[in-house]
Amino acid sequence: MTDAIPTTGGDPKTIQVRKASYWYDDVIGINDLSVDIGPGVTGLLGPNGAGKSTLMKVISGQLSPRTGEVRINKRPLAGNPEVFADIGFVPEFDAFWQGMSGREFVVYLTRLHGLDKSNAAAAAERAIERVGLTDDADRPVSDYSKGMRQRIKVAQALAHEPNCLLLDEPLNGTDPVGRRHIIDLIRELGAAGTTVVVSSHVLHEIEQMTDEVVLIHSGRVLADGHIQEIRDLIDEHPHTIHVDCDRPRELAAELVGFEDVVRVELADDHVRVATRDPAACYDRIPRLTLENDFGFQGMTSPDNDLDAVFQYLVD
Amino acid sequence: MPIHPDSYEPYDGPRGTERPWWTVARQTLGSMLSWTRTKLTLLAVWVFPALALIGVIVEYSLRSSGTELPVPEGQFVGAFATYQAYAVALVYLASGCGIVSHDIRYRTLPFVLSKPITRWDYLGGKLLGLSLLGALTAVVPTLLVGALRLGMLASIDLAGPIVGATLAALGVAIAAVVVTAALVGAISSLSGRTGLVVLGVIGAFVAPWILSSILQLATEAKAAGNLVSLHGAFSLVIDQWIYGDASGVPAWSPFVALGVLCGGSIAVMHWRLKQAGDIH
């Protein structure tokens, strides 16, 4: 246990949070939290209700901390709206204006940075291309799949070329293709020197983007460091994957033969698989369902194993 | 632990000088004008000004042909100004209740507020967007009808008596547009459920009206009773400016009532936006 300020990423530090607290009536969001985050990808990991989204909202200026301070590029966030020119924020939830196309969505939000129509359109075009939605840019966002909506949200955060990108649960509900696209983009931005903070309650998601994590629990930074240290702890607890598909019985029969699979639970429309090798399993499941035409719908991880690790660290 | 180089180069391309509140205002107006119900409501409320335009032309033709008509006074302008105050309320009720409420309902507020704009930029842009819709409803028709009538009556030397009344009608229209926009904006910021906002706005129009009627019946203080409702206050302004009637209340009182309502509404809206991250 140390009093040193948790630190991740390179130097100089882009995000500095000092003794920040925020509470919702009687519920603590974050509690006297300090952290320094620099260039590169940092994973903000914690179970649901840990305070990740509150920290994201505080860093992105949605909430003013009741106590403490946030600085972006050494400038205080409070009362300093021009600091937001350095920030790109992707909120957790599915949000868009009714009737707007993807392009209109990105152009409008880019214009709020003061760019005129033609420059905003050009910046939006580059960002849309970067997230791979050029062909669908003129369709209404309401017609997009969940994965495409996540990508258009990322595009609006990238268009003004910020050096600090905050993504709150960006892989929620994404299909495998969208997931891969977003992961590759995040890694690419991190490697180029952008400070990227990605929150998730799923260790495996974070693991695909970065080695550096900050663990949040009960509104505090519980630990920070290399993801392998977390992985070593988690390997003692099998990882659970929930797979929705049309033929769960056949998928279950295929999965039980693998050595890393320690348990398979079957229901009418899904399979729950417990594995000691999540990376292999995440690659295997979509492949198996496609090869055998099992009608793959999607997969999520309740990650109860992560809760167990948090419990271990707290204890 | 990997250390990443800080190779970030800030964007130094061209930036426009456009103010964010103007971007918000244009988006707000554009969004409202794209709705069928806005177009239909605007068409409906433009029927009376269109008839008034025809009436002005008929009046001019009759006067030019030597038909004996009374000397024009403020009645027509007063009725027109009263109508415009109600027309603004109707259009806002149909299309303005979602100006902030939709951003709460569809959770789009965080996108806007994570950009380099202040809460005041957002608030000002929303109110300006709604006011521009109100201007299309009331100010533009008042300008058209007023200018045409003044122009035609001036050509036969009869404009003099109604110049002041016409300018007063324009003032009433602008006040109705701004004060009603602030009231609707404040109520809209209170909930993400637009249906509730519509009920709230109806309540804000009707409840003070009922209260004002009760006060008038109970105290026989007709003018003082008008001060507690939005349209009552407008009627006092119209009485003073257009009919030149002192109304039995201090001349400043309806302006103070409207000012307090407008200022209070803007304060409520700002207070709600300060809690933006907490709004669900």
Three-class SS of residue A117? Answer: helix
Residues of chain A with Cβ-Cβ distance to B11 below 8 Å are 160-161
**Look-up of token digits 């499941």:** A285
Cβ atoms of B135 and B108 closer than 8 Å: no
Minimal CA–CA distance to A120: which of A130, A133, A109, A129? A109
Single-letter amino acid code for the residue at A308: A
CB contact under 8 A, B10 and A86: yes
pLDDT average, residue stretch B238-267: 86
Minimal CA–CA distance to B97: which of B31, B26, B16? B31
Quick one: CA torsion of B217, B218, B223, B227, rounded to 10 degrees? Answer: -110
Residue count of chain B: 280
Cβ atoms of B123 and B269 closer than 8 Å: yes
CA closest to A24 among chain B residues: B278
CA closest to A161 among chain B residues: B11
Residue B221 lies in a domain: yes
For the ranges A1-5, B113-117, B242-246, which has the lowest average pLDDT?
A1-5
Residues of chain A with Cβ-Cβ distance to B4 below 8 Å are 9-10, 38-40, 190-191, 193
ipTM score of complex:
0.79
pLDDT 10s digits, A99-142: 899 999 999 999 998 888 888 999 999 999 999 899 999 999 99
- Number of structural domains, chain B? 1
Distance from CA of A254 to the nearest CA of B (A): 39
Residue B5 lies in a domain: no
Distance from CA of A38 to the nearest CA of B (A): 8
Beta bridge partners of A121: none
| Whether the predicted pLDDT of B124 surpasses 90 | yes
Residue B181 lies in a domain: yes
Interface test with A, best of B12, B15, B22, B111 (most A CBs within 10 A): B111
| Whether the predicted pLDDT of B160 surpasses 80 | no
For A112-115, the CB contacts below 8 A with 24+ separation are A112/B20, A112/B23, A112/B24, A112/B112, A112/B115, A112/B116, A112/B117, A113/A85, A113/A160, A113/B15, A113/B115, A113/B116, A114/B15, A114/B16, A114/B17, A114/B18, A114/B19, A114/B20, A114/B116, A115/A160, A115/B14, A115/B15, A115/B16, A115/B18
**Which two three-digit tokens encode residue A121?**
């359109």
The more confident residue out of B143 and A304 is B143
pLDDT average, residue stretch A21-27: 84
Q: Which of B16, B31, B118 sits opposite A81 (nearest CB)?
A: B118
Residues of chain B with Cβ-Cβ distance to A123 below 8 Å are 13
A63 vs B: CB within 8 A: yes
**pLDDT, chain A, mean:** 86
For the ranges A200-204, B114-118, B183-187, B194-198, which has the lowest average pLDDT?
A200-204
Q: Which of B27, B116, B121 sits opposite A113 (nearest CB)?
A: B116
Residue B2 lies in a domain: no
| Whether the predicted pLDDT of A43 surpasses 60 | yes
Interface test with B, best of A112, A166, A187 (most B CBs within 10 A): A112
Residue B9 lies in a domain: no
**Look-up of token digits 């608030």:** B123
A225 vs B: CB within 8 A: yes
pLDDT average, residue stretch B158-173: 82
A214 vs B: CB within 8 A: no
- On whether the pTM is more than 0.80, the answer is no
A111 vs B: CB within 8 A: yes
Three-class SS of residue A173? Answer: coil
A60 vs B: CB within 8 A: yes
- Measure the CA–CA gap between B80 and B147, rounded to whole angstroms: 14
pLDDT 10s digits, B93-104: 999 999 999 999
pLDDT average, residue stretch B83-95: 94
Q: Which of B34, B108, B116 sits opposite A99 (nearest CB)?
A: B34
Residues of B with CB under 8 A from a CB of A: 1-8, 10-11, 13-20, 23-24, 27, 31, 34, 102, 106-108, 110-118, 121, 274, 276-278
Q: What is the pLDDT, as a whole number, of residue B209?
A: 85
CB contact under 8 A, B110 and A97: no
Of chain A, the percentage scoring pLDDT greater than 90 comes to 33
Q: Which of B5, B13, B106 sits opposite A95 (nearest CB)?
A: B106
Structural domain span for residue B188: 15-274
CA closest to B107 among chain A residues: A95
Residue B41 lies in a domain: yes
- pLDDT category, B8, cuts 50, 70, 90? very low
Single-letter amino acid code for the residue at B210: I
A76 vs B: CB within 8 A: no
Q: What is the pLDDT, as a whole number, of residue A229?
A: 73
CB contact under 8 A, B111 and A91: yes
Number of Cβ within 10 Å of residue A112's Cβ equals 27
Residue B3 lies in a domain: no
Q: What is the pLDDT, as a whole number, of residue B5?
A: 42
Q: What is the pLDDT, as a whole number, of residue B6?
A: 43
pLDDT 10s digits, B136-151: 999 999 999 989 988 8
Residue B4 lies in a domain: no
A108 vs B: CB within 8 A: yes
The more confident residue out of B53 and A172 is B53
**Look-up of token digits 């794209």:** B34
CB contact under 8 A, B16 and A93: no
